[in-house]
Structure 1
Amino acid sequence: MRFKAVAAQFLVICCALSPSLVQAQDKPVQLVGLGDSLMAGYQLPPTDSYTAQLEAALKAKGMDVTITNAGVSGDTSSGGLARADWSVPDGTDGVILELGANDALRGVSPDETEKNLDAIISGFQKRNIPVLLMGIMSPPNMGDDYAKRFNPIYQRLAEKHGLQLYPFFLDGVVLNEALQLEDRMHPNTKGVAVMVEKSTPTVETFIKAIGEQKK
């Protein structure tokens, strides 16, 4: 009994001297969604954006996570590169990176898009911030030649940097008008819900990998 009392007292003292240790165990995983209008939630209430719906879905599964929305409508890969450092603060546990759709719409050289995304990823890796890469596909009106140059970008970058890749961010939405806004380019609230449902397993794996790296 004396041993148990001493042990209990020792534990209390340790906790009092090292509160940060206890707090660290309770800290939620901090993610940032860096992207364009598809990430930002174009014309949708903030609570209906991809990051908001994804956070809610993960919390419903019992995962302690917060996801900051750093999506900017109209952003290109070059714009994302220019703001990557200040959009993702130190201490971020992981980034969900989704950029390139506006590059394709504007006919930006796929080589330039790949160069910019490569620089964004390298910058995060230098800061020890893991990246989950969301793939984008060229719209049909850009033609087959452009698509052949643009679409493989994400797989190459994932292989080069050892990243987890979600192949197509708009999977399940792009051909379904009922899940799109009137512009037939952006998802509506139901469309975002489909994107979240399809991508959640990949995000869960990403979060678990972050936890393993911290051990």
Structure 2
Amino acid sequence: DWRRWAPIYSPYVLWRTWEVLQEGMTDSQREIVLPRDYRPLIEAVYAVGYEPTGPHAEAISHALVRYRRETDEHQAQARRALVPAVREAALLRVPGIAISHYIHNRRPIDWALATQLTTQVLDTLMTNPLPPGCFWNVNLPHLSAGDPAPDLVFCSACTQPLPTEYRVEGGQFHYVGEYGRRRHDPESDVAVCFSGQIAVTKLCLWPS
């Protein structure tokens, strides 16, 4: 009964588990018990380059798209706390670097490229000392295949507000603002990032 595991596993994980384990099984062996700790299962069975085949290929493909989108969203959410954490460290006079990745139109992130760009950023910033109460805020651009390698651009922080458009449906507010169309100051970190470059900004909690 797949509903038993739905709160824990995504549809893609369930499809792949069923597809992998059903081969050679008899009807009396169709009950599959999955571990509560899903991470080893995913790492062992679900390759990034997997291409679904067979009679259920279409269903698995749709589930895979959703799974990858949800995974990217979860990773992005996990990284949202980085800037507040680095800011708290700056209050304690501990220097730090906060690195964020712009996500354009919910496209998946090339994490291998992001890792490469992050390494370049760290190699540069680790040799640039910071005064007490300051930290580096870095925004990686969302590049497409074939885009030129980005440059590191030291720039100021944008002073424009985020989009605040909402629609009311069923008595609830739903956010409909488009981050990619937000207002931004010329040559600010937002403008630099949107242009395909790596925006590097020194933020200080008090005048140095």
- Say yes or no: TM over 0.5: no
Q: Normalization by structure 1: what TM-score?
A: 0.26
Rg bigger for which structure?
2
